Every structure is written in C-alpha cells, then in structure tokens.
Amino acid sequence: MASAVSERESLWPAPAKLNLFLHVTGRRPDGYHELQTLFQLIDLCDTVAIEVRADGRIERRAGPAGVAADEDLTVRAARALKTAAGARLGASIRLIKRIPVGGGLGGGSSDAATALLALNRLWGCGLSREALAGLGLPLGADVPVFVRGFSAWAEGVGERLTPVELPERWYVLIRPGVSVPTRDVFQSPELTRNSPLITIRAFFETGGRNDCEPVVRARWPEVAEALDWLGGQLPGDSRLAPARLTGTGSCIFAPLASAAEAERIAASVPDRWRSFVARGLNVSPLRALLSM
C-alpha cells in the first residue's frame, strides 16, 4: 500500500503505451531487432514521486515487488542523468505502480523517462529532450517515445519516431495472470523477423499485426485464451480492430468507439484476469505538467 505523500515530494505521471501493431523487419549484427510499430499513449499511469536531496545520494524508497533498487530503471535513469549533467543534487524516488509489470505496456520505460524529465527540471540540468532520449535509449528501446511525449510511428529499434495524431479511441485491456519476458520472445526461433516495411498510410488503410503474438500464443496458453475470449466480445458490426497483444508482454487490448462499450466488456472479464479501461492520448500528461 502506498505511503502518504511527503510535503517535499513532487508527483510526476508516467503513462502506459499500446503497440497498435508490431512488425519485426530484421535483426542487426549486435543482436537487436529492427521494428516498425505505432505507439499509442494511454491514460493508465504510474506516478513517480521525487524528493530532491542536497547530499547527492540517489535512493529508491518504494518500487515494484521483486525488482531490486539497483535494477530499477528509475534509479538507473537518475544515475545516468547525474553523471551526464554533472549534477550535485540527489533524489529519493518512490514509485506508485498502476501499470502491470511485464505486461508489454511500457511501465518501466515510462517510469525511467519520467525520472529523466522530472530530474532534469528539478536539478536544473538544462538538457534537451533529444539528449534525454539518448540517455534513455540504453535503458530501454521504449524510453525515447515517453521522453518525447507523443503517440508516434517508430522504426529502428524504436528510437526513430514520427509523431502521429490518432483518432480518439477507448481501449479495454486484459492482463492474464502471467508475465512474458521480452528476451524469451525475441530469442524464439519461430519469431518472424523479415516482415516487409510498410508506410504509415498503408497501416491506416489495411492495418497490421503483432509478429510476436504467434510466439506468445504458443508458449503462454493463458494469453491465447484471453485473446480468443476478448475477440468474441467485440461488436461485429462496429469492430475497429481485432483483439491484439501489445508489445511482447502478456497484456492484450481492443479499441472501442466509446467508454461505455469498453466498460461493458471490462465488467464481464472473468475473475481470473485483471481488466482496465483506458483512453488513448496523443500527448503525454507529463508534457503539460512540464510546460507549467
């Protein structure tokens, strides 16, 4: 249970994302995969609580269970920024988690991006978003999209970003009771790695798929069951897109035209799964907060 907010803490949002499609288009000599994807930010958010310290220390007061402080991406992001900017101040960091861990929603990457942006402001570092995105990329391929703060078309390993204005959608999300390790999916021999490149226009005309979904379906039957269940709940006369896996995680989603439709489906999700309803965002709430 989260502790009370300290008067010295500032609170910063860290939104989740969905991959509306994910094509694996190749594999680089360094082992990383070349991708095409469309990141949709959503209003399901973690909160990163930060208290600036004068002694220069960086500590984590609270975070996700099972993740050691030294492995926490917010701590690693803070240390990377401190080194790059030569900052003398430190920070106590507390994570209030709402985004499921290991669900493919980018929670850890978003938390790291929020730490970079917030501490850049609080410490007076003055680094550009481009510089912060560069610091964040070694922490995770999804960090740059959260640093820039727009829903975006992404290529490369996910770092080449083009902001995209997406139509307003509501999403129902389901997390089956499993976590899917990204490494296991990308190391799978049956993963498709040669999808042809497509254009943004082609995606909006014909849609795409998630190349990781067949691997996850085969190896995690709980995810396959949830995908089949959600697909059967979507209104056939107004289907916007099929139920789909997001990223390489275990969470699945489907877009709906209204909050009421999404809430109706979420309310009927079997008790063994966890459901969420989220609104799509074109701009991260963190951008608005930083502009104040």
Q: Which residues are marked as active site?
A: 17, 142
Give me the residue label for tokens 């035209």.
Answer: 257
| Residue 56: C-alpha distances to residues 72, 103, 142 (Å) | 18, 34, 28
Rounded CA gap, 75 and 223, in Å? 31
**d(C-alpha 290, C-alpha 48), whole Å:** 14
Q: DSSP class of residue 210?
A: B
Q: Which two tokens stand for residue 73?
A: 């991406």
| Separation CA 189–CA 174 (nearest Å) | 27
Round to whole Å and give the CA distance between 111 and 16. 9
Task: Determine the residue type at 226.
Answer: A
160 alpha-carbon distance from chain centroid: 16
Tokens standing for 259?
């909050």
Query: Is 44 in contact with 15 (CB distance < 8 Å)?
Result: yes
State the sign of the Cα–Cα–Cα–Cα dihedral 127, 130, 134, 137: positive
Q: Which of 51, 38, 67, 60 is nearest to 204 (CA)?
A: 38
In the numeric block, the tokens 């942006």 are attached to 117
